[in-house]
């Protein structure tokens, strides 16, 4: 059967799509939010492991040539005391290369000079950068750094907020002088929140697109399923016409609307003449064939705005919105002519009788159906195969 495409059905379908889309979006947003949280935690853990691995690798490199580094650490005044500048700049260059290769934000080493104070030794930042800290420059020692020195074990912080720098996570690995077991300082590796977000961005773009496609696909599937269930519950399975239940709902809505606008509609009720005789003579299978044939005629002659219904058995109804009596008469006469082309097995023509009621303000739905039924009975009484209108 042709789908009735009307302004109301288009509006209804758009509203249905919107409701389904928003519902699916809300449902998907819940697991998406959970996934977002756990994904962020996963990224933080990945960068914590990376930072620890980098800091441990740098600590191993320094410990392999510990003497010149020990000399740097033991100096108290770097402006007054001579130290190996070649070693210092060589190691700074090495840290800078490692920083670039690992995409860390900062790699540097510290020594503890007080209970809560530290001094920079090596710095892998470009010396011409404002972020470069020269040897001996002081600063506060973080709790995680102090814990790494105290326990002589690598430690890593979570994302911590720094007033002048923003959010960073930092790994600290002690630099141990194997000759006497002293902790000479720490290798520190920083990753900023911006670096983590940059790494997340590509993956979240993929996940975002995937979730959006999922929402669209789920919306369409649910929409099609709802439409299918709607059609399944409102369609007669033999003929493909609407059911009586759907007709009554649509007529009730139409009467409410036309009560306000003052428009009219025609309601036609019809059945197949001598249908019991056809069933008795040729069997119910052939009777069903004629029911389907008449239904096909209705489908081909009715407009998308019309509600064509199998009312029950061999009875059919057509709700013709916004039509005049003359338009309804023309349609009914054409239907009579088309149905007469149908023939029984022995060549006898098949006919239908039609009763028509024109709705006017003040008539209820039951009144419309009763009047059309009376007009149909009148058509039968006058010889069948004809159209009768209510007086």
The DSSP-derived string for 307-344 is EEEEEETTEEEEEEET--HHHHHHHHHHHHHHHTT-B-
For residue 65, give the H/E element and its range.
none
Token duo for residue 148: 């790494």
Token duo for residue 101: 């290769």
pLDDT in tens, 3-26: 344 455 566 677 877 888 888 877
pLDDT in tens, 69-92: 999 999 988 888 888 899 999 999
Tell me what pLDDT residue 261 has: 85
pLDDT in tens, 249-290: 989 989 988 888 888 889 999 999 999 988 888 899 999 999
pLDDT in tens, 297-342: 888 888 888 899 999 899 999 998 887 788 888 888 988 988 988 8
3-class secondary-structure state, position 352:
strand
Read off the pLDDT band of 49 (50, 70, 90). Answer: very high
pLDDT mean across residues, the chain: 87
Asked if residue 92 lies in contact with residue 127, where contact means CB atoms within 8 angstroms, the answer is yes
pLDDT in tens, 152-167: 999 999 988 887 788 9
Tell me what pLDDT residue 304 has: 80
Tell me what pLDDT residue 102 has: 93
Q: How many CB atoms are closer than 10 A to CB 54? A: 21
Tell me what pLDDT residue 121 has: 95
Asked if residue 247 lies in contact with residue 366, where contact means CB atoms within 8 angstroms, the answer is no
pLDDT in tens, 192-207: 998 888 877 766 777 7
Tell me what pLDDT residue 9 has: 58
Q: If you search the block for the tokens 């001996």, which residue do you land on?
A: 136
For residue 56, give the H/E element and its range.
helix 7-64
Read off the pLDDT band of 60 (50, 70, 90). Answer: very high
Asked if residue 305 lies in contact with residue 351, where contact means CB atoms within 8 angstroms, the answer is no
- Provide the whole-model pTM: 0.54
């Amino acid at each position: 059967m042709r789908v009735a495409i009307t302004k109301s059905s288009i509006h209804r379908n758009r509203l249905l799509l919107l409701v389904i889309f928003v519902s699916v979006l809300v449902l998907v947003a819940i697991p998406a939010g959970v996934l977002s949280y756990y994904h962020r935690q996963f990224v933080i853990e990945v960068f914590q492991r990376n930072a620890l691995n980098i800091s441990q690798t740098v600590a191993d490199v320094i410990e392999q040539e510990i003497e010149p580094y020990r000399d740097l650490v033991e100096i108290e005044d770097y402006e007054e005391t001579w130290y190996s500048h070649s070693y210092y700049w060589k190691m700074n260059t090495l840290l800078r290369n490692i920083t670039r290769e690992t995409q860390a934000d900062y790699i540097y080493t510290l020594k503890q000079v007080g209970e809560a104070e530290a001094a920079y030794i090596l710095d892998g930042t470009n010396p011409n950068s404002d972020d470069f800290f020269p040897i001996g420059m002081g600063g506060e020692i973080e709790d995680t750094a102090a814990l790494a020195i105290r326990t002589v074990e690598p430690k890593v912080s979570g994302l911590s907020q720094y007033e002048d720098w923003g959010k960073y996570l930092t790994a600290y690995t002690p630099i141990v002088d194997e000759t006497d077991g002293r902790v000479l300082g720490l290798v520190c590796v920083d990753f900023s929140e911006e670096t983590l977000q940059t790494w997340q961005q590509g993956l979240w773009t993929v996940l975002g697109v995937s979730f959006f496609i999922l929402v669209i696909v789920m919306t369409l599937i649910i929409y099609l399923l709802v439409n299918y269930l709607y059609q399944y519950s409102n369609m007669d399975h033999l003929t493909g016409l609407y059911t009586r239940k759907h007709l009554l709902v649509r007529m009730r809505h139409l009467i409410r609307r036309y009560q306000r606008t003052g428009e009219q509609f025609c309601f036609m009720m019809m059945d197949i003449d001598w249908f019991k005789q056809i069933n008795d003579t040729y069997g119910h299978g052939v009777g069903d064939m004629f029911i389907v044939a008449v239904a096909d005629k209705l489908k081909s002659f009715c407009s998308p705005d019309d509600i064509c219904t199998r009312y029950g058995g061999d009875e059919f109804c057509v709700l013709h919105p916004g039509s005049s009596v003359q338009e309804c008469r023309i349609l009914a006469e054409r239907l009579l002519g088309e149905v007469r082309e149908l023939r029984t097995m022995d060549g006898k023509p098949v006919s239908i009788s039609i009763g028509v009621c024109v709705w006017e303000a003040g008539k209820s739905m039951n009144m419309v159906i009763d009047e059309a039924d009376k007009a149909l009975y009148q058509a039968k009484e006058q010889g069948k195969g004809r159209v009768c209108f209510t007086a």
